[in-house]
Structure 1
């Protein structure tokens, strides 16, 4: 059975008459290089069948080439945002979250087991080398299956019931991946903001691989790059998600031209990019993105004083009034997009904490429900969010077809009486003279909540929660630690509870993996040890033993083996019901607003939209390659 996705895949690519890609459509940015013979003309650079983006059909205005966009990033690592924003994927979502072929010309799926990918004839990497089936073979056989380059083994998206996928080269422009059971996760991972990589520029990367490079030459390169192992060299030079190597060919709309270390990174248009608009103009419209590194704390102020043309990261709703006021002094506009997180902020009790008294208490659903019921979300909404958010458990938003009101309302009523009763039932009946409950080992019942300290929102909300919990006999202490240390400290059991975001994808469809509702990664702060166990295929961490969590993992495996939309939707519903009823994450509010600062000269940025990492890729699904600059004069 060929699934309905095939139709969408085939519709995504229309044959584009090459004669329309005339000299008039050559970006001025490349005219001199073409005239000097250093770059072929545009009609020789794009694939025979480029991906045609109907800009007018998206309700926007077809644009013009040219211009530079300045933006601010909090650290050099954030150059990865250009990979997320550029959103060039083998297959990808549009803004309606429907999937289309992108880098691929088309694809077919059979029973979600067999995936056949067709490449575009004449498609090239940014250095002009052809994108071929060899790039897929090299990635699979020489990187993913190489223990030195992939010591953790294949991604979980490539292994079904212990069976690794089978890779085949069918012909010069066709590859196939197959499993004996359905793998509904496969395409979603390819469309992700941090995508599963299946194609690498083999012609460039073979110089760093022991199988293809002369031993003495490889040692010389290793010495030059100051690494001791060839595998370290290859990993460094091949990193595509955080594009630190300017020489690495890419398929993204813009390519990094700046070597590390630097305080400013310049991304220039990819001359071989595979998309064009309906008028035959090669995308992207914008020539350059310049990313300037700044202290995260200073970014709101700098953005509000005209130092950024397009800014969403490192600014938050608390900055809105200041940024909005900047419209009076600078040619910028501040839009408000709706965040897609299941909860803008969430308390995550670490069910794997090493504290022998707190661990069983946090694993007791009565304690988690009590802590949730003690919180006055209405007051938080009014005091911190000006009443503009929705009081909710940590769950999917109404924009998701999987939304149910009972998920959002689970254990969120402000009910200190019931909270007290539940804590008594859980055995916390003794109290000190200050009213704080006494643990079984004689300590006061104090919960240390750790935050990354990246926003005053967190401390504002936690200060309110401190008062609510004190009224039910629980003391709260706020500790700030670095984001980078969160994972290791959580896995080590040092964190009892943290404040972070809720579900990252609050707008899922049944086709999307429900892994965020079960322990699947070691950075899930409510169960990192169980997540590590899943991530390592059982070799590290511990398997969950809490019945409700075991059921979630079993449901996830059922979803991964399912090929039917109705069954997937039913599994999602059951998992959401368990997750919210068991209060594995204590949600506060959702549907919060994200300021988007846009210079008035930039066109085609939506007035309102959904904003989130997964699956929206922030700006990605709105195709920033179609944003353009109205030039003065």
Structure 2
């Protein structure tokens, strides 16, 4: 090596050093850009908040409403009133007139005439207020792109059948009629003839078969078949009778199947257009070609590509919804636009929907509530916080909206002690019914009601409301009085009499009895739970509130690490659909996830439940096999009585109405309806018949639908 030649390792070291400096610089630049983006985003949102707060303050002052009694704004509906809601909500029917239809002016350039785009027998929606007019944009807000993904469930909600607006009836939808035979083992549905996907292709039973054979029965797309699609561990069979008649067969009777379909298990069946999605499935194209497509789209596995193509965000996949995605995320303004092939009409033959577009913008919850107060929402209840109710109400007149209080189908927030706790001493304490009853007596629910719900709610256990056929007054009111003396007596009786200097009871191992109420960050208003922690501490059970990110909350509960979990109700109006709080029914039964695993696996995994809890499971399995609603109620009442005796879950405040803000220009939004997840609210109120009527506001004159023939 010559004297002028540099050693190779020195050159390499120099090169690596330079690359390292460049890489570090790039990383630093990315971090700085991320910080700048975050800062500008927060700054922009703060400007929005400041502007909205100023506007709202001016509007509230101008409204000249000095005080507001929220309790006076809501009166619970009686059962008789609930059962006689005719004329105040939408109804459905079948088209029996001549095939003369109208369409939105927006569709005047459509290739096919409206008569050819509608099915042979379109579903008729009779709106509660008026027919039309056409036009307008429905403004909504979400907290993220996945949050807007509730659109298919909550705002389209187009499956074979639907719940009605008062959750008393199951309405036909894509299915015209149905028949239950073979003792509840066979369900036959007749589909509407001539329904089209949004691209004009026909919708038939073949699309349902594609979903069943190539999505549900494909282990890569569906690793675990939902329990609702099987009996005794055996998946249902789906049989094509003809293009418009389909049968579902089970190995044993399934009395709840129709309710399950209405509660969200039938719209996934009709979200997979076979003619489009076959192009991304290995059962229909060569695997080599599919993998090339997969790699081209930067996915690792074919099923990722398939799920992406089937996603609600894909503007190319055909739909049966009233509005279809036109501008997806990450656009700032996400836009859904009317489906020219939508298969419903009103009583005058006007093709639905009335509203042309639905738009979403993404903000945090605080700004969404501010925008609602400022009148910037068309119709929405999602993300609106009940503790803002007085401000919504006070500001509504000047900002041109009303506040609707719909009937909540649930029983309030639950406090679920972890009966499968990993700490053996806590597990033994929690298993004693006296401990759970003592904690219930230690709660001053009247105080909780005032601090969280302005006195509007009702102290109760997690139980069906009075308007439900499953109602039990004995369970609703069990152990809900504020009785700290009885709480102390029960805790003493358990052997937890000894206390430390701070007044905290000692466990059998001599340690202070200390528990945490764990609450996911989705519960934005925590004062009620902070007060509960204080009330439990006052009877010697040291309690702290622990606020966690939702993902951490789910991780801890799945690992059986939580002490007391908090979650919302599960539509106890019809508790047979999701009885999570009456016995460990699913992974959401946070009072006994180990027991739920035993139930779901038919005893193969999990923790064997105690005798009375097992009795609840056996009763529910009987209910699942019985199509008779009266017998379902009778058997579930026995489950409720076992809950009254054992109080496996502690209730707080229930019967709190669901809050919705509705623009004054909106029509056909009911004053009152039932609100709940299993009813897919507001989907159960037929959003496709909502209308925006600007002219009525301006001159208070009647207006007819403005349509193109």
Give the structure 2 partner of residue 14 of structure 1: 94
1:116 is matched with 188
Q: Of Structure 1 and Structure 2, which has the larger fraction of its residues in helix?
A: 2
Which residue is equivalent to 1:163? 234
Aligned counterpart for 1:349 among listed residues 417, 425, 430? 417
2:442 equivalent to 1:374 = yes
Residue 115 (structure 1) shift: 0.8
Rounded Cα–Cα distance in structure 1 between residues aligned with 2:675 and 2:597: 28
Shift of 1:118: 1.3
Distance in 2, matches of 1:194 and 1:262, equals 30
* Match status 1:448 vs 2:502: no
Partner of 1:29: 106
Gaps of 5+ in 1: 1-10
Deviations 1:107-157 (A, max 9, x none): 1111322111112111111222111121111111122112222111x2211
Is contact 1:395–1:580 with CA below 8 Å preserved after alignment? no
The answer to whether the 8 A contact 2:256-2:627 is kept is: no
Matched, 1:598 2:662: yes
In the alignment, what sits opposite 1:102? 173
After superposition, the Cα gap between the structure-2 partners of 1:456 and 1:140, relative to the gap in structure 1 and judged at 3 Å, is: closer
Shift of 1:160: 1.5
Contact 2:159 2:266 in 1 (8 A): yes
The residue aligned with 2:160 is 90
CA distance in 2, matches of 1:266, 1:303: 19
- State the match for 1:6 in structure 2: none
The match for 2:690 is 627
Compare CA radii of gyration and give the structure with the larger one: 2
Given that 2:92 and 2:126 are in contact with CA atoms closer than 8 Å, whether structure 1 keeps it comes out as no
Q: What is the aligned partner in structure 1 of residue 80 from structure 2?
A: none
Contact kept, 8 Å, 2:93 with 2:125, in 1: the verdict is: no
Measure the CA separation in 2 of the matches of 1:497 and 1:554. 26
- In 2, the alpha carbon distance for the partners of 1:515 and 1:494 equals 19
Give how far 1:262 is off: 3.7
Paired residues for 1:430-445 under 5 Å: 430-445=498-513
In the alignment, structure 1 residue 473 sits paired with structure 2 residue 540: yes
Shift of 1:212: 0.4
Aligned residue runs from structure 1 range 321-340, under 5 A? 321-340=390-409
Distance 2:379 2:598 in 1: 40
Conservation of the 8 A alpha-carbon contact between 1:76 and 1:262: no
1:234–1:529 distance in 2 versus 1, CA, 3 Å:
farther
Query: Which residue does the alignment assign to 2:199?
Result: 127
The answer on whether the counterparts of 1:469 and 1:476 sit within 8 Å (CA) in structure 2 is yes
**Aligned with 1:400 (options 459, 465, 468):** 468
Aligned length: 602
Cα shift at 1:408: 0.7
Do the aligned partners of residues 561 and 193 (structure 1) sit closer, same or farther apart at CA in structure 2, a change above 3 Å counting? Answer: closer
Matched, 1:172 2:243: yes
Match of 2:140 in 1: 71
Matched, 1:60 2:129: yes
Paired with 1:338 and 1:15, the residues of 2 have a C-alpha distance of: 31
Matched, 1:228 2:300: yes
Does structure 1 residue 249 correspond to structure 2 residue 249? no
In 2, Cα distance between equivalents of 1:271 and 1:164:
36
CA distance in structure 2 between the partners assigned to 1:499 and 1:155 by the alignment = 25
Q: 1:152-211: per-residue Cα shift (whole Å, max 9, x none)?
A: 1x2211221233322211122211111242112222222114656333211111111101
Deviations 1:581-608 (A, max 9, x none): 3222211111113321111111111122
Corresponding residue SS for 1:72: strand
TM-score normalised by the chain length of structure 1 = 0.90
Secondary structure of the 2:268 match is coil
* Contact 1:73/1:293 (8 A) holds in 2: yes
Matches within 5 A, 1:521-560: 521-535=586-600, 542-560=606-624
Match of 2:337 among 249, 258, 268: 268
Q: Provide the C-alpha distance between the structure 2 equivalents of 1:442 and 1:196, rounded to a whole number of angstroms.
A: 55
Distance, in Å, in 1 between the alignment partners of 2:96 and 2:298 is 47
**Cα distance in 2 for residues equivalent to 1:275 and 1:619:** 17
Query: Is 1:566 matched with 2:630?
Result: yes
- Does residue 182 (structure 1) correspond to residue 277 (structure 2)? The answer is no
Q: Determine the C-alpha separation between the residues in 2 that align with 1:427 and 1:247.
A: 66
Q: Distance in 2 between matches of 1:264 and 1:189?
A: 34
1:509–1:431 CA distance, 2 compared to 1 (3 A): closer
1:471-521 residue CA offsets vs partner (Å, 9 max, x unmatched): 21111111111123322210102211122213x2131177x5645522222
TM-score normalised by length of structure 2: 0.81
What is the CA–CA distance in structure 1 between the aligned matches of 2:281 and 2:598, rounded to whole Å?
A: 31
Aligned partners of 2:125 and 2:344 also within 8 Å: yes
